[in-house]
Structure 1
């Protein structure tokens, strides 16, 4: 029997998909133009990886689970399935978004250090510090942190979160993909 929450579920899907679309748009706008010597540096590789991840998320097919029972019950099961899929995709995009921001900070730091010059021995310490900062930032972008940023934002906006998947559910789904 339907519980009368299908409208709330549909609104939740729209909210998650709006966040997902915004993240996808941001990730599609990433542009870095490293020189041939810089192309394989950690930060530039990270930015390319984030763009590729975003495209892969878009290309992953949706595997809907069909509900059984009456129309309202089928709709309920389908909406729940869409919430889970959309939440997993948004989680993935949020992780790529946070990682890309770390890459952009690295790129901006590198550009500030070099000021249009070719890297030389006088830049070595500062460039190594920028690389270390990038690595530390990436280590801090854990699944727990990503999930926390999403939940905090949603909760602060008063969104209905009752049927959002837990981090453990998201991780389990990602392991099967």
Structure 2
């Protein structure tokens, strides 16, 4: 017997997919123009990687059963749960890419403010190394637990229904299976 929460599940799907769409939009707008010498620097490589991860997440097909529930509330419940799980995993992947890209953009902006349009030279070495170290430290802090906490904190602050959101372990299993 259905539990009467299918409308809440459908609303949750819409919320997660809206977040996913917003993250995808942000990540698709990443544009950098490194010089040939800068192209393979850590921060620029990271930004390209984040954009690629977002595109791959978008292109990954939905793997759950696509049979129509046919008016059966219990089948609809199971289908909605599967969609919530898939959507939450996709949003998680994009949130992780977003946080990493944001760190990359901070790196790029700091680097640009250090160089001020000049080519790197000996006077920039310490500041550029510090910027690289800061990027690495930021990336170390962007763990799966941190990504999940940012999403749950945001959702909780907005009063969203989280009862059937998948656990971090479940999300990690789904991502590894793809």
Task: Tell me which interval the TM-score lies in, with the shorter structure as reference length.
Answer: over 0.9
What CA distance in whole angstroms lies between the structure 2 residues aligned with 1:2 and 1:69? Answer: 14
Q: Following TM superposition, by how much is the alpha carbon of 1:67 offset from its aligned partner in structure 2, in angstroms?
A: 8.6
Structure 2 distance, partners of 1:67, 1:166, is 26
Equivalenced residues, count: 177
SS in 1 for 2:118: coil
Question: Is the contact between residue 2 and residue 73 of structure 1 (CA under 8 Å) also seen in structure 2?
Answer: yes
Specify every segment of 5 or more residues in structure 1 that has no aligned partner in the other structure, as ranges. Answer: none
In structure 1, C-alpha distance between the alignment counterparts of 2:31 and 2:177, rounded to whole Å: 31
Instruction: Look up the match of 1:113.
Output: 114
Match of residue 153 from structure 2: 152
* Alpha-carbon offset, residue 68 of structure 1: 8.0
Unaligned runs of 5+ in 2: none
Q: 2:8 aligned with 1:44, yes or no?
A: no
How many angstroms does 1:69 deviate by? Answer: 9.6
Alignment-derived partner of residue 169 in structure 2: 168
Aligned pairs (5 A) from 1:118-129: 118-129=119-130
Q: In the alignment, what sits opposite 2:83?
A: 82
Hey, what does 1:25 align to over in structure 2?
25
Instruction: Tell me the secondary structure at the aligned position of residue 112 of structure 2.
Output: helix
Deviation of 1:30 (Å): 0.2
- Quote the Cα distance in structure 1 between the aligned partners of 2:107 and 2:96: 17
2:34 alignment partner, SS class:
coil
Aligned to 1:15: 15
In structure 2, the residue matched to 1:102 is: 103
Once the two structures are superposed, residues 23-78 of structure 1 have per-residue CA deviations (whole angstroms, 9 ceiling, x without a partner) of 00000000010000000000000000000000000110001235989711111000
Relative to the length of structure 2, the TM-score reads 0.97
Contact 1:67 1:73 in 2 (8 A): no
The CA distance in 1 between the partners of 2:116 and 2:10, in whole Å, is 50
Give TM-score scaled by structure 1 length.
0.97
Runs of 4+ in 1 over 2 A off after TM superposition: 65-70
Residue in 1 that maps onto 2:56: 56
- Assess if the C-alpha contact under 8 Å between 1:67 and 1:77 holds in 2: no
